[in-house]
Amino acid sequence: MNREDSHAAVSFFRKLGPGLLLAATSIGASHLVMSPQAGAMFGFGLLWLVTLTHLFKYHAFEFGPRYAAATGESLIAGYMRLPGPKGWALWIFLLTTIAQGIAVLAGVVGVAAAVLTTFVGVMPLAAWYAVVLVSILLFLHFGGYRWLDFLNKMMMVVLLAATLLVFVPVFPPPRVLMHLVIPSLPAGSLVLAAAILGWMPTGIDVSIWHSLWTLEKYPELSPGSATPADRPRVLRLALADMRIGYALSFVVAAVFLMLAAMFLRDAGGQLKEIGFARALADVYVERMGGWMYVVFMLAAFSAMYSTSYTVMDGFSRSFAETLRTLFPETTARAKARFYWSFVLATAALAFVLLVTVGKPVSLVIMVAMLSLAVAPLYYALNYYCVTRFIAVEGFRPALAARLTAIAGIGIMAFATLFCIASTLLKWK
């Protein structure tokens, strides 16, 4: 690679940001917890769900940066413009943000602390909860988006490199890949399948965060800053960034499931709570040697820490922006107070939830199922915004994208109703 090519690659890497934040939010609990559980308990039987969720939820996430680049405003502003009672969608979003903000943060911080407990030990699990939460608070205070962007890129590189080092030498037979497209629902897999549908690659509300991160990454999108010639360039870059992050999420999810199916069959019990990190590390050590233990643990912690970081920032950022949109008289200083109040409140309540309830892995599964319940609504709202509120036809999604999105909304709605009906039947 010559010097010009090298500079171009570095320049492009620096421009990446919100798409890798999406990947960081995705490559965490859903990949380190749910994918290995699916492989260990049901072999390759649920591999098709990785394809299904990434394919049919793709446009829900793509609509975030698309809307921001095309309009210069976030999806939160778009929700405010929806027909009906003023701000109705934002009030729903605000309530789900508060409810999920605590539970999701508790789940991902708990899993990150479980990795540290397995790797380092020394302190009780509750102490590691505090260490993870306090360190994230410090990073948010001193670094803001810059640190979020930088740390996430470094952590993604470590995780991807470690995972591919293990997987490539043991690539499964080609016939296994048929499970990527052949549906099956093994007995006893309904709860886990619902969790995967809800939280893989991640909750659809993260698309709203993505629109906010896009505006933060590209300040030239703000009203009056971008010329008509700027927006197509930013849109192309934002979508390329998003697609890279999304592809990484798909690859890592599929790889973790296949590794567990090959090397952790019938070890699902070890993956249900904090023992999951040790069980996964053993696969890496067995294939690559003892030195890989440290690499895997660093990669696993990096994935969960970056998820925890983006979750704390994303929920708080969207909470503050939602209040500012609902109450336009809100000042910039008040918006900052909203952000930090939510950060501190959710951190404190997440810590209490972890200490009193524990079981972070079970908490992740529960939260993922809740995410499934609101997924069809947010998907439909995102679709409405990009098809009705983007003025320039060339910035709107193409017909094929619209049809795929409509199919995705239908699939998510059907899955939600199916899970509710199955649960009610079990209670009878």
Round to whole Å and give the CA distance between 251 and 101: 27
Q: What is the pLDDT of residue 20?
A: 63
> Taking the model in full, what pTM does it have?
0.84
Q: Could you give the C-alpha distances from 215 to 71, 218, 287, in angstroms and in order? A: 10, 5, 43
Asked if 209 and 17 count as a contact pair (C-beta separation under 8 A), the reply is: no
Round to whole Å and give the CA distance between 106 and 126: 12
Round to whole Å and give the CA distance between 94 and 131: 28
Q: What is the pLDDT of residues 250-267, one digit of tens each?
A: 988 898 888 888 887 765
Residue 30 per-residue DSSP state? I
Burial of 272 (0-12, 13-18, 19+ CB in 10 A): middle
Q: What is the pLDDT of residues 84-97, one digit of tens each?
A: 999 999 999 999 89
Round to whole Å and give the CA distance between 390 and 216: 20
Q: Could you give the C-alpha distances from 161 to 116, 218, 242, 322, in angstroms and in order? A: 20, 29, 20, 38
Per-residue pLDDT, averaged over 99-105, amounts to 86
Per-residue pLDDT, averaged over 308-333, amounts to 89
Beta strands (DSSP E) in 33-97 are none
The CATH number of the domain covering residues in 17-427: 1.20.1740.10
Is the pLDDT at 326 greater than 50, yes or no? Answer: yes
Q: What is the pLDDT of residue 309?
A: 84
Is the pLDDT at 375 greater than 50, yes or no? Answer: yes
Residue 74 — pLDDT band, cuts 50, 70, 90? very high
Q: What is the pLDDT of residues 161-217, one digit of tens each?
A: 777 777 887 788 888 889 998 888 888 888 888 888 888 888 888 899 889 888 887
The domain segmentation of the chain, as residue ranges, is 17-427
Q: Could you give the C-alpha distances from 350 to 114, 137, 169, 309, in angstroms and in order? A: 15, 13, 40, 14
Round to whole Å and give the CA distance between 277 and 296: 9
